[in-house]
Structure 1
Amino acid sequence: MKVTRYFEATRQRPDRSAIQDEWIQRVVRHPTAEVVQSDGRIRRWAPIVEAEGRYLRVVLLDDGETVHNAFFDRGFTP
């Protein structure tokens, strides 16, 4: 999985350290929602059953594969 330095840094935060690579890859491959931002970055969401069904948001760079950010999105509604 390709990641940015920003992602590597934020991954050290306690609220992000529990997010598993498998979950991120699942969201990237099988999103339930997707939005392309004006800067070309791609936001994808999917529920993570193992995390009580909370929605994980993964932000990809415009190449569609490099992970820039990943976090549980409390404000997302399907």
Structure 2
Amino acid sequence: MALRCTQYFLATRERDDRKSIELAWIEWVVQAPQHRHLQEDGRWRLWAPVPEAEGRWLRVVLLGDGETVHNAFFDRSFRP
């Protein structure tokens, strides 16, 4: 899978708290989310736990096209 992403996503990947998030994990969440939510602005929030990251939940935000990654981070407040 070729990961499409926004410039915002590329910029935030440089942050220390985001550098440890592997692209393979993001791709996995996009392909097999355990939870999804359509935001009012048309963007999608997708979540899945990442076993390699101690089971923390990774949230991936996609643009309205459902393919382009806009954001990805470990969501400490998410409760399934």
**Separation in structure 2 between the aligned mates of residue 45 and residue 69 of structure 1, nearest angstrom:** 12
The whole-number CA distance in structure 2 between the counterparts of 1:77 and 1:32 is 12
Moved over 3 A (4+): none
Code of the aligned partner of 2:64: D
Give me the TM-score of the superposition, normalised by structure 2.
0.97
| Partner in structure 2 of residue 66 of structure 1 | 68
Structure 1 residue runs without a partner (length 5+)? none
Pairwise CA distance, 1:6 = 0.2
Q: CA–CA distance in 1 between the matches of 2:46 and 2:73?
A: 11
Report the aligned-residue RMSD: 0.3
The 5-angstrom pairing of residues 3-42 of structure 1 reads 3-42=5-44
Provide Cα deviations, 1:11-47, integer angstroms capped at 9, x if missing partner: 0000001100100000001001000001100000000
The AA in structure 2 aligned to 1:69 is N
Pairs aligned (count): 78
The CA distance in 1 between the partners of 2:12 and 2:38, in whole Å, is 22
